[in-house]
Structure 1
């Protein structure tokens, strides 16, 4: 049974197509479940839309939810449409975000770290001039935020947990204990990590996370799910079969999706 829990659309300002475009694409590809999870607004910012090329406006958030709920009904019997959101995690504002999310019947919330010390994880300049020890510190800070996001209890899924390698492939070679520590925390919190196939759209290529992290995740008993992170409809379900085959080879027997914030297991 094919599913994809990580898709975007025009409201975030850097994706193409409507929500319905992604649903129709999923139906055409024979998927049974499609989750819509566009970037959450910056709720703590004074402006309605603080960064129009990154996240939707606060005023659009209710419209986003209502549109998905209507499409759930429209496509009932053809495909299961899930209400999701990809949320930034800022520890100092977590309570504010949680308060907003509690207003709506989300099936799941993806918690993603996109900034560390105020700088985008995709900004390759952040690594310029750093010593080896400083690089380790940057990586540890990234994983500390992921651990905090897991412990917050806000998220069913943790998004692209090694995406900091996107435009800096050397990231994966920075040696630190923080990945193992993070996976232990994620397992304890019973959150899932996603296999996100959008790494292929960045310099690093491939998927998030890397195979060695997936092997460790299996060892620690971490649940896994699938997300294409599609920003164009064509990428819905991208490489789903390849990911399923890889997970089987690593040793996974199942993966999961979420409905009404309850975990649903799917046999591989």
Structure 2
């Protein structure tokens, strides 16, 4: 059974298409479950929409939720539509995010780290002036933030776990094995799933997040996995689902999960 829990649409300001386009693309790709999970508004700012090319306006949030719920009813019997959201984790603003998100009936919330030391993880220049020791420190801080997000109780899924390599492929060679291993232990203890996110192919690193090496450690610690294309255009819905399933089987996984009403639903591989 095919599913995809990570999709975006026009409201975030950097994706194409409307929600219906992604649902129709999922049906065309023979998916049985499609999750809609656009970026939250930036709740940590008093402004209505401080970053219009990154996240939706606060005034769009309720309409987003209602549209997904309406489409869930409309497509019942054709495909299961799930109400999700992707939320950044900012330690200083965690409470205001949690209050905003608990007001709506999300099937799942994806937790993401997109900034380390107030610089985007995808910024191609962030590594240029760092010493090797500073690079290790930034990588360790990235995984420290993921651990904090996992412990927060806000999320069901940890997004693109090594996405910091997206526009800096050498990230994978920076040694931080202990930080990665500890992070996977915390995720397992917290009962969360990590997504295999195939959007790495749209960045300089290619491939998907996380690496096969991280997935092997995740399997060792009993971390559940799920699938997300992170589609920002309808044509990428379900992208590389079969290839990911094949690799997971080779690693030793026998099932993966999706979430409905924040409860894990196992799916045999």
TM bucket normalised to smaller: over 0.9
C-alpha distance in 1 between matches for 2:85 and 2:251: 29
Match of 1:67 in 2: 67
Match of 1:215 in 2: 216
How far apart are 1:130 and its partner, in Å?
A: 1.0
C-alpha distance in 2 between matches for 1:87 and 1:162: 17
- Give deviations 1:31-70, integer Å, cap 9, x for gaps: 0000000011001211111100000000000000000000
C-alpha distance in 1 between matches for 2:203 and 2:129: 22
How far apart are 1:265 and its partner, in Å?
A: 0.3
How far apart are 1:129 and its partner, in Å?
A: 1.6
C-alpha distance in 2 between matches for 1:106 and 1:117: 29
Q: TM (normalized to structure 1)?
A: 0.99
C-alpha distance in 2 between matches for 1:166 and 1:249: 24
Which aligned pairs between 1:1-268 and structure 2 lie closer than 5 A? 1-176=1-176, 177-268=178-269
How far apart are 1:7 and its partner, in Å?
A: 0.1
Secondary structure, counterpart of 2:31 in structure 1: coil
C-alpha distance in 1 between matches for 2:245 and 2:93: 36
How far apart are 1:191 and its partner, in Å?
A: 0.4
C-alpha distance in 2 between matches for 1:173 and 1:99: 38
How far apart are 1:17 and its partner, in Å?
A: 0.1
How far apart are 1:74 and its partner, in Å?
A: 0.2
How far apart are 1:118 and its partner, in Å?
A: 0.6
C-alpha distance in 2 between matches for 1:137 and 1:98: 28
C-alpha distance in 1 between matches for 2:72 and 2:124: 39
C-alpha distance in 2 between matches for 1:200 and 1:258: 25
C-alpha distance in 2 between matches for 1:169 and 1:43: 31
Q: TM (normalized to structure 2)?
A: 0.99
C-alpha distance in 2 between matches for 1:200 and 1:150: 26
C-alpha distance in 1 between matches for 2:100 and 2:129: 40
- Give deviations 1:171-230, integer Å, cap 9, x for gaps: 001111100010000000010000000000000000000000000000011000000000
Aligned length: 268
C-alpha distance in 1 between matches for 2:54 and 2:228: 19
